Amino acid sequence: MDAGIDATRVRRAFGSVHAVQEVTFQAAPGRVTGLVGPNGSGKTTLMLMLASLLRPDAGEMRIGGVDPVADPSGARRLLGWMPDALGAWPSLTSREVLVATGQLYDLSRTDARARADQLLAEVGLSALAGSAARVLSRGQKQRLALARALMHDPRVLLLDEPASGLDPQARVDLRILLRRLAAEGQTILISSHVLAELEEVVDDAVFLVEGRTVAGDRIAAAATRVRTWRVRLTADASRSSAASRDAIAGALGRAGEDVRVDRRDVLVPFTDDAAAAAGLRALVGAGLPVVEYAPAVGDLEHTFLDLRDEAGPPDRGEPPFHDRPTEGSGR
C-alpha cells in the first residue's frame, strides 16, 4: 500500500475567512516535502485536516490510501503528528509522555518504555527523561514533540515548524534524522518559516499562496526570474565597500546603481545561472580577489519571495489556532 499523501481540491473556511481555498498536491514515500507559504496561507489548517483533527469543507485527502475523514483511526495509525507546540500533559515526565503515547497506540508498557528510551536518546533528551514536560525549554519541548510523533513508528510524518526554538546543533541533528527517516521510506511533510532550513532537507516543495497551491508552471517561472548574487572580495584595509562595489561594477560592465553594498558584500542581480557564471569569469579575469560568490538566497526563498511579490499584500488571514474549532482532537 502506498504510504504517501494525496490531497485534491481541499477547502476549509472559518465563517467568512477562507483559510484553505483550493489545495491539490502529493507527497511521495521516501521523500521530504516542504510546505511553503506566508503567514495566513493555510499551512497549519491544511496540516490539521491531514492529521484528521479538522474536517475539510470539500475535497479529498488520503494518508497511505486511507481517508482521514471517513477513517480517522486508520489514518492516525499511519501518521505521526507534530504540532507547533507540544500541548501534552505538563505534569508528566518526558518519559511518561512518550510511554502514555505509546500505550494509546496499543504498545505494551514494556515496549512503550523501551521505545521511549530509544527515542529520548535519539532526540538528545535522555538526561531529561525524568523531568516534567513543563520545565523543558521551547527547543526541548520541540524535541519531545518529535519523539512523541515517532512513538508508533509511523509511515507518514506531519511536522509543523519542527525547528522552532532549536539551537544550531539540534537543527543539524533534526536534518540528519529526517533524511534518515526518508531514506527508510517514510513520507515527510514539513511546514516551516525558516526557508534556509527547509532548503537543506527537502526533496520537493508545495507552495501555498492565499490558501491555494501554486501551479507548477508558475513556480517554474518564479524560480527563473532575476536573482541577486552575493560577492565578497578579500579583506583589504585600503579598499572600502564602495570601492569594491565600483570595481565589481566596472568588471561586469554594470551601472553603479545596479550593484549594491550589503555590509562586507556586494549584491549583483543576474538573469540566470549562465549569466552568473559569466559574471564570475569576468571578475576573475579582471584580477579581482573573489572569495565568496553565491546566490543571496536559496532556491526556495527566491521562489517564495517572487510568488509573494506577484500576489501582492494578503487580503485574508488564518484565524489564530485557539479560534479554530477542532474535531476529533483525541488520540
Tens of pLDDT, residue by residue over 223-277, are 567 788 899 998 775 577 888 898 999 999 887 668 888 888 899 989 888 999 9
pLDDT-derived band at 15 (thresholds 50, 70, 90) equals: very high
Residue 215 counted as domain residue:
no
* Confidence band for 55, pLDDT divided at 50, 70 and 90: very high
Residues 30 and 167 in one domain: yes
pLDDT tens for each residue of 142-191: 999 999 999 999 999 999 988 888 888 888 898 999 999 999 999 999 99
Distance CA 311, CA 329 (A): 34
In a domain, 87, yes or no: yes
Q: Note whether residue 11 is domain-resident.
A: yes
**Helical segments of 105-183, H only:** 109-122, 138-150, 168-183
Structure pTM? 0.77
**Domain shared by 162 and 301, yes or no:** no
Q: Which amino acid is at 321?
A: F
Q: Are residues 146 and 235 in the same domain?
A: no
108 and 51 housed in the same domain: yes
Residues 242 and 107 in one domain: no
Q: Is residue 218 assigned to a domain?
A: no
Domain for residue 217, yes or no? no
pLDDT at 299 over 90: no
Q: Is residue 198 very low, low, confident or very high in pLDDT (cuts 50, 70, 90)?
A: confident
Q: Which domain holds residue 238?
A: 223-311
- Same domain? For 18 and 118 the reply is yes
Q: How high is the pLDDT of residue 224? A: 61
**Domain check: are 267 and 206 in the same one?**
no
Tally the domains of the chain: 2
Give how far Cα 74 sits from Cα of 9, 191, 194, 216, 250, Å.
Answer: 22, 23, 32, 31, 64
275 and 191 both lie in a single domain:
no
> Binning pLDDT at 50, 70 and 90, where does residue 25 land?
very high
Q: Which of 90-99, 124-133, 218-227, 242-251 bottoms out in mean pLDDT, i.e. has the lowest?
A: 218-227
